Amino acid sequence: MTQRRPRLGVMGGTFDPVHHGHLVAASEVAARFELDEVVFVPTGQPTFKQDQTVTVAEHRYLMTVIATASNPRFTVSRVDVDRPGLTYTVDTLRDLKEQRPDADLYFITGADAIEQILTWKDAEELFAMAHFVAVTRPGHALSVEGLPTDRVSILEVPALAISSTDVRARAGAGQPVWYLVPDGVVQYIAKHRLYRGQS
Ligand SMILES: Nc1ncnc2c1ncn2[C@@H]1O[C@H](COP(=O)(O)OP(=O)(O)OP(=O)(O)O)[C@@H](O)[C@H]1O
Ligand SMILES: O=C(O)c1ccc[n+]([C@@H]2O[C@H](COP(=O)([O-])O)[C@@H](O)[C@H]2O)c1
């Protein structure tokens, strides 16, 4: 009997901070596609967020570690945080493929990200490197026109109207962020006084 190749989910994001929308998306895709592991990959310098202030990578990385620690199938990779320069998914996938040559990669994105994917660096190469799973996000009608249908899947996930932008604004305004992000992340934000004055 031939053994099936391991399936590795890849959840890339700026995670400023990581929230329950990210975690539900990863969990749902893992269940639907029978993934053996989902590796969360915080960006180093996100290329599409150069016009905004992004929290230092080490804080975003540590919050992602805290948020995923309790799930034995979730891990966190430093490949993007440790690579100098802007973060591009083509490099993320290349590095992960080198580390895990035996695995099939499933890159998980939200609706807003997949709709821009043709503008990403080396877009045509990406679909050969991974299968893309776009989760539908509340309030966002999904269009995958022009994308290779055999390499892109759409998955509806339970609506979680959470964004990092909203969490930062709430934390900045002194409003609660309990239950929008994992408890450890609430405490990390308070301990390091993140997002103060950002409302
Ligand atoms: N609530 C959500 N449900 C499902 N997917 C999400 C959700 N929020 C973000 N995503 C997806 O997760 C990935 C990482 O997103 P990111 O870290 O930029 O979070 P964000 O909430 O979109 O942040 P920001 O509000 O700062 O832009 C992207 O592919 C994004 O589309
Ligand atoms: O490769 C690119 O050109 C590219 C452009 C924009 C976003 N991405 C990736 O998409 C994921 C979500 O990005 P963001 O900026 O919405 O947090 C993250 O893994 C980014 O590296 C990648």
The CB of 120 under 6 Å from ligand 2? The reply is yes
Q: Model confidence over 155-193: pLDDT tens digits?
A: 989 878 899 999 999 999 999 999 999 999 999 999 999
Q: How far is the CA of 70 from the centre of ligand 2 (A)?
A: 25
Question: Per-residue pLDDT for the chain (199 aa), expressed as one digit of tens each?
Answer: 678 999 999 999 999 999 999 999 999 999 999 999 999 999 999 999 899 999 999 999 999 999 999 999 999 999 999 999 999 999 999 999 999 999 999 999 988 888 899 999 999 999 999 999 999 865 667 778 889 989 999 898 987 889 999 999 999 999 999 999 999 999 999 999 999 987 6
Q: Which residue owns the Cα nearest ligand 2 atom 5?
A: 120
The CB of 73 under 6 Å from ligand 2? The reply is no
Q: Which residue owns the Cα nearest ligand 1 atom 1?
A: 21
Specify the pTM: 0.97
Please list the alpha-helical segments (H only) found in 100-163: 111-114, 123-129
Tokens of 135: 């989760």
The CB of 33 under 6 Å from ligand 2? The reply is no
The CB of 16 under 6 Å from ligand 1? The reply is yes
Confidence check on the interface: ipTM exceeds 0.95, yes or no: yes
Using CA atoms, how far apart are residues 12 and 132, in angstroms rounded to an integer?
Answer: 12
Amino acid letter, 84:
P
The H or E element containing residue 187 is helix 183-191
Tokens of 13: 């994001």
Tokens of 100: 């895990």
The CB of 87 under 6 Å from ligand 2? The reply is yes
Q: How far is the CA of 1 from the centre of ligand 2 (A)?
A: 39
Tokens of 113: 């990200």
Using CA atoms, how far apart are residues 61 and 44, in angstroms rounded to an integer?
Answer: 9
Select from 3.30.590.10, 3.90.1170.50, 3.40.50.620, 3.40.50.150 the CATH code of 5-160: 3.40.50.620
Could you give the angle at the alpha carbon of 127 between the alpha carbons of 123 and 131, nearest 5°?
Answer: 135
From the CA of 164, which ligand is nearest?
Answer: 1
The CB of 113 under 6 Å from ligand 2? The reply is yes
The CB of 43 under 6 Å from ligand 2? The reply is yes
Instruction: Please report, for the chain, the start and end positions of each structural domain, with discontinuous segments joined by +.
Output: 5-160
Could you give the angle at the alpha carbon of 48 between the alpha carbons of 168 and 192, nearest 5°?
Answer: 30
**17 neighbors 162 (Cβ within 8 angstroms):** no
